[in-house]
Amino acid sequence: MQITGNTILITGGGSGIGRRLAESFHKKGNQVIVAGRRQQLLDEVTSANPGIKSLLLDISDQDSIRSFSQQVAQDYPGLNVLINNAGIAKAEDLKSPPDYLEDAEAIVTTNLLGPIRLTAALLPLLQNQPHSAIFTVSSGLAFVPNAATPTYSATKAAIHSYSVSLRHQLKSTTTEVIEIIPPYVQTQLTGEQQTIDPRAMPLDEFITEVMDILANHPTVEEVVVERCKPLRFAAENGNADMMFQTRNP
């Protein structure tokens, strides 16, 4: 993928990784549209970055995705990059059903069904362009799960598998499929404390490395920063079980 001259839609673009990606791509000369559920956060992005556009989207709602996709096709007919970034995470105690089931179902709907539905809705538009790309955002936890966030980890594993299959099915088309695999990053994904957790990778460092990979490796299929490689390649290196036990005492 070329990182300039695109029209890019980023879900979950009001904060965290989504916002920083939006700002970075905008600075590279792309038309960027951020989408999310909270208008206030979207307004903060567009106010701080003149030229970035915003659209409301509830990624957990199928009707919202349908109407949103129609609006995107009407307002941005040249859309050629979709970044499925929106996601939620919550700790769950699996020993206490059914207390966690509502959270688990919301995580599956947002993290897995949302990207699948939005990709299906926008794929005809994307494939109408000379070149296009679909980004998915999984996690290092797709490869070595965090037992405290089992459903989140499971949805990210599913997103990785979905990305592999989507890439294979689209290999004869002009649509690329690129998976971004973050490590633990200083965002508000699990709450305010994560933004200052010294164990987490600073957000700006993560985004800088991601953009460098995309710029220097235009045919990359998986964007894996150095800090995430031990998780991503744990199985290939034969130490997945050890890493799981170490990270989940």
Residues known to be catalytic: 152
Q: Kindly provide the b/e burial profile for residues 154-173, where b requires at least 16 CB atoms within 10 angstroms of the residue's own CB.
A: bbbbbbbebbeebbeebeee
DSSP 226: G
Q: Which helix (H) or strand (E) holds 179?
A: strand 175-181
Q: Could you report how far apart the first and last alpha carbons of the chain are, in Å? A: 40
Tokens of 169: 């099915």
Cα–Cα dist 182/206, whole Å: 8
Query: In which residue are the tokens 């590279």 written?
Result: 28
- 97, burial (CB in 10 Å: exposed 0-12, middle 13-18, buried 19+): exposed
Query: Strand order in 31-36's β-sheet?
Result: 53-56, 31-36, 7-11, 81-84, 132-137, 175-181, 222-224
Tokens of 12: 């979950």
